[in-house]
Amino acid sequence: RFLDGRPQDLTGRRVVVSAGGTREFLDPVRFLGNRSSGRQGLALAQAAAARGAEVTLVAANVSLPAPAGVERIDVVTTAELRDAVVKAAATADAVVMAAAPADFRPANYADAKIKKVPGGDAPTIELVENPDILAELVRSRPSGSGEPFIAGFAAETGDENATVVEHARAKLARKGCDLLVVNDVSAGAVFGADDNEVILLTADGEARPLARAAKSEVANAIWDTIVQRLG
Ligand code: CTP
Ligand code: CA
């Protein structure tokens, strides 16, 4: 069966997609955040729903509307994102971590707004590391089951030590996930853009570059790969 011209090849599958960027608060009005718009994650949720999946979207500070027919859970911090994703992943066939979780959070939260002392010293913000959700999902998978299928995203730049793909391969190995969607951001980032150019890196070592395309097309190519591996 086809709907919107798409195969219904995710019918009966439960998938979890995270989207957006987390925020870590310093005080009631200030946070550390990042520029993730959530667009690629929304496109993934939309594409999966159009292909028949039951979709849970865990949205971190996404200001855009969620696609119709998708269960949306809103979160703010990396800790909240972790709790929501881990819970939803327990019954999922596939999890795609398209969100950009803050790697660190302030060690202390000030209950009252931090005040500037005119002429005084600038404050120093001490940070502590956040949990790595993707790595935790992989670790907590029943050994040998390979379920759920776990995909991550990585924005990388080449440098004097390694190319984008080399950095990405190392990250894929470190995280232990099944698929890494790699963004080459050497030529400037694509935050908020409508299209995307990625390389699909799978755990079996294959690196498949996709032509620059709308985020909806990139989303469908990602699901094509996942559907294939779900068998
Ligand atoms: N990720 C995660 N939990 C974190 C950080 C990242 O689940 N605390 C996930 C992201 O959603 C993404 C993947 O891990 O799918 C790779 O994120 P990235 O920031 O590239 O990886 P890091 O291990 O944080 O490495 P880096 O030092 O390059 O930021
Ligand atoms: Ca990171």
Per residue in 130-162, pLDDT tens?
Answer: 999 999 999 999 877 889 999 999 999 999 999
| Closest residue CA from atom 24 of ligand 1 | 103
Report the sign of the C-alpha dihedral through residues 187, 182, 6, 48, in that order: negative
pTM of the full structure? 0.95
| Closest residue CA from atom 17 of ligand 1 | 154
CA angle 76, 14, 223 (to 5 degrees): 90
Cα 35 from Cα 190, distance rounded (Å)? 10
Residue 191: pLDDT above 90? Answer: no
Which of the 8 DSSP states describes residue 100?
B
Is 132 labeled as ligand-binding? yes
Nearest Cα to 39, choosing from 225, 213, 193? 193
Q: Does residue 220 carry a catalytic annotation?
A: no
Confidence class for position 185, pLDDT limits 50, 70, 90:
confident
Q: Which of 34, 108, 161, 220 is catalytic?
A: 34
ipTM above 0.85?
yes
Residue with tokens 């909240």: 80
Residue with tokens 């002429």: 119
Strand partners, 14: 54
Q: Which of helix, strand or coil describes residue 174?
A: helix
CA distances from 228 to 67, 222, 231 (A): 24, 10, 6
